[in-house]
Amino acid sequence: MNNIRPYERNVYYYETDKMGVVHHSNYIRIFEETRIHFLNEAGMPFEQIEAMGVYMPVLSVECRYKRPLSFDEPFAVYPKIVKFNGTTLHIEYKLISRKTGEICVEGSSSHCFTDLELKPLRTKLHYPDIYKVFSEYNGYEITE
């Protein structure tokens, strides 16, 4: 198993609102960026998954705001696969300010695996390489 690093960057100006803090909708985009980073780190990038004829549509997303981030503030996001059964995937996210060490946002997203016509797939039967990656990281805690 690879040692996966948290997703890190600074807040972009366009992500902030009139109050100078990250607009709430942008945290969902950051979750998406984190998911792409996680897949790259795990050796199964989105491009590879889609090239196999598999999509991973979002079923639900949730976000709990604790403290806003501001322009250029550095942050890290720690994703964790908390449930994977071969057909659905549930990921939790913890976004932490690198400036203060505070948890700013916690959230989660749920996904399913489908073919290109959006019909559900069982990855264990039809895509064992995909199944293996998510099974290996099920419950894996990312640390520094």
34 located within any domain = yes
CATH number at residue 122: 3.10.129.10
Q: What is the pTM of this model?
A: 0.92
Instruction: State the Cα–Cα distance between residues 6 and 25, nearest whole angstrom.
Output: 21
1 located within any domain = no
Q: What is the DSSP string of the chain?
A: ---PPPEEEE--GGGB-TTSBB-TTHHHHHHHHHHHHHHHHTT--HHHHHHTT-B--EEEEEEEESS--BTT-EEEEEEEEEEE-SSEEEEEEEEEETTT--EEEEEEEEEE-B-TT--B--HHHH-HHHHHHHHHHBTPPP--
142 located within any domain = no
18 located within any domain = yes
Specify the number of domains making up the chain. Answer: 1
- Let me know if 17 is a catalytic residue: yes
Catalytic residue of the set 17, 72, 115, 129: 17
Mean pLDDT over each residue of the chain, to the nearest integer? 94
Residue 130 has pLDDT above 90, yes or no: yes
Strands 74-84 and 58-65: unpaired
Chain segment 76-113, per-residue pLDDT in tens: 999 999 999 999 999 999 999 999 999 999 999 999 99
Domain region containing 91: 7-137
Which token pair is 50? Answer: 């889609």
